[in-house]
Amino acid sequence: MFSDILAHYSIEATAKDVGAIIIADGLPCPAEVYVPYLPEESDASRIEACAMIRRAGLEPVLHLSARRLTSLMALETLLAALRDQAQIERVFLIAGDLAQPVGPFSDSLSVIETGLLESHGIRTVGIAGHPDGHPDVADDVMWQSMDDKLAALGKRGLGSQIVTQFSFDAQQVLTWLRAVRARGVTEAVRVGIPGPTGVRTLLRYATRCGVAASAGAIAKYGLSLGRLLGNAGPDRFVSELRAGLDPAETGQVHLHIFPFGGFAQTADWLVRSGARSPDCRAA
């Protein structure tokens, strides 16, 4: 059903959940596995998670949260360990959700400009995209920030891609994609979608992640605030997104899955939706 847009999909797995994704029954292998930078998890657990992903024959992508990096040395130590233990070549770089940085980095650009990423073997850097806008940052500032980061990565010979937060409004995502391309940005975009999960769980994550969850947006997704029981899948959203994609206007687009309902439900949805790649356990 969605086999074309699911080709080369990516997925998130916390450090404690990496073992589950590697052995998930029937899960078609993702192109990339993202390990989020959770404050309750240590650098050691993140590094080991990336190493496990690499040993399974998959591509690890660690989130780097600029405002949570305590020092230049801490960044260099982390990158060196990721290179040595996980042969990591890709990271996803975000500013982070802290109001004030704990170290010298206030944003993603300040990390890029250290030169440490490429010196430790990083070849591709993902940056964040916000189709619904950002609750704390004006749109013009967000656009300029994207331009500045992509320019800085290009000057350093680093590849780049854009990874978005999930959204409930496919038309809003399509409008944003066209705006991205209108700025001359040609990098691949990974559009975030939630995997199938309970309605209450989905809305809880939306609140936590700052995703616009107005009654109108929720209705477009196929949900109702009056019906909070049962599960919700991304079929309607993906179908509408897929129908609106046009290589000339929206460029290269893949899906990035947040498996809020667990890997078993996500694997089942992927198979039913036409994802065709080897089972991860066969990697």
Residues in a beta bridge with 61: 34, 90
Domain count, the chain: 1
- Taken in order 49, 50, 56, 59, is the CA torsion positive or negative? positive
pLDDT category, 225, cuts 50, 70, 90? low
Please report the pLDDT score of residue 219 as a whole number: 67
pLDDT category, 213, cuts 50, 70, 90? low
For residue 257, what is the domain's CATH number? 3.20.20.220
| 235-268 pLDDT per residue, tens | 999 999 999 999 999 999 999 999 988 888 888 8
For 202, residues 6+ apart whose C-beta sits below 8 A from its C-beta are: 194, 223, 232, 260
Please report the pLDDT score of residue 212 as a whole number: 63
Contact (CB, 8 A) for 63 and 91: yes
3 state SS of 232: strand
Structural domain including 41 reads 3-282
| 91-139 pLDDT per residue, tens | 999 998 888 999 999 999 999 999 999 999 999 999 999 998 887 788 8
